[in-house]
Structure 1
Amino acid sequence: MTVAVETGTWQLDPSASTVALRHRTMWGLVTVKGAFTAISGGGEVSPDGSATGTVTLDAASLDTKHAKRDKHLRSADFFDTDQHPEITFAVRGADRLDADGVRVTGQLTVRGVSRPQELTARLVSADAGGLTLETEFTVDRDQFGMGWNQLGMMRGLTTVTAALRFTRAGS
């Protein structure tokens, strides 16, 4: 990643991290927003600067502040959390783009369907206490078997935003 990031093992700090999504619905008139309340993960930065790791979301922890909608999102129409309780992003590599930009390549798995995913993250802080990466990227939910779309209400891509704080493992 960047020279400011030390080699070694890093652990995600769930209390200082967020993963959220937003999607336009009701024919583009309403934006549904939600956040995952249970996230975990970790990674390793090798001496050559390469990075690998995993971020895991408890799919049932998605909270949109609307209980009926959240129950529907957990159903087989969407995340099917009974059969697929986790969403994972497995980082296969990370390349420095500039002083704070990082291109991250990996595999996103939702509902048991895995697809390659590339995104750009920004290193917003790196100090002795840890490092924080922020990113925003889009996902086509149809590619993950979430094609439910009553009366054509849901169109377009889902936007995922994340702010992930990592600390040295064991610290």
Structure 2
Amino acid sequence: MTVAVETGTWQLDTAASTVAVRHKTFWGLVTVKGAFTAVTGDGEVRPDGSAVGTITVDPASLDTRNAKRDEHLRSADFFDAANHPEITFAVRSAELRAGDEVHVVGQLTVRGISRPQSVTARLVGADDRALTLDAEFTVDREQFAMGWNQLGMMRGLTTVAASLRFTRTAA
């Protein structure tokens, strides 16, 4: 799909967007999956076609369908949601490249620690009122002071998958 995205401001459609994580645990035998139920965001498409914006996730909203595990993930061992109630991805630049590929450069902040993060997203739908981006990338949780790893059960990178639908709010 080659499409020109309308300039102006865009708001994340929270009902139609998802941010999920998955991580292999128990020495790679089990994949823990979860989704954040509270995600907000906005952005601006500039006249030159580039875009900036912010996605904010509430770490306390993580749901892995296991209440005890969710409580542990919200604790100081992982997200420390009581002291760090937001995870943010500040998009410094997003540019549509060949076809439907969007190159995104930003800054990911988790537990008050910020790191640069580049992502290749895919524009899976766009018109003058709405656009949807799908992206998947990996994060080294130890870079964000989430190194808890009892008996070496949790190794490797965490995968973040997002499907983000934005609606146009103004020109």
TM-score after normalising by structure 2: 0.97
Question: Aligned partners of 1:135, 1:162: CA distance in 2, in Å?
Answer: 5
In structure 1, list runs of 5 or more residues that go unmatched. Answer: none
Percent identity (aligned) = 75
Deviations 1:21-59 (A, max 9, x none): 000000000000000000000000110111100000011
Question: Aligned partners of 1:143, 1:103: CA distance in 2, in Å?
Answer: 23
Q: For residue 33 of structure 1, what is the aligned residue in structure 2?
A: 33
Deviations 1:103-158 (A, max 9, x none): 10000000000000000000000013300000000000000000000000000000
Q: For residue 153 of structure 1, what is the aligned residue in structure 2?
A: 153
Figure out how many residues of one structure are paired with residues of the other and give that number.
170
Q: How does 1:109-128 map to 2 (within 5 A)?
A: 109-128=109-128
In structure 2, list runs of 5 or more residues that go unmatched. Answer: none
Name the amino acid aligned to 1:122.
R
Question: Aligned partners of 1:53, 1:162: CA distance in 2, in Å?
Answer: 15
Q: For residue 14 of structure 2, what is the aligned residue in structure 1?
A: 14
Question: Aligned partners of 1:128, 1:95: CA distance in 2, in Å?
Answer: 17
Question: Aligned partners of 1:127, 1:50: CA distance in 2, in Å?
Answer: 16
What secondary structure does 2:70 align onto?
A: helix
- Please say which of residues 128-137 and 111-120 is displaced more in the overlay: 128-137
Question: Aligned partners of 2:127, 2:22: CA distance in 1, in Å?
Answer: 31
What secondary structure does 1:169 align onto?
A: strand
What secondary structure does 2:60 align onto?
A: helix
How far off its partner does 1:95 sit? Answer: 2.0
Question: Aligned partners of 1:170, 1:75: CA distance in 2, in Å?
Answer: 39
Question: Aligned partners of 1:68, 1:163: CA distance in 2, in Å?
Answer: 27
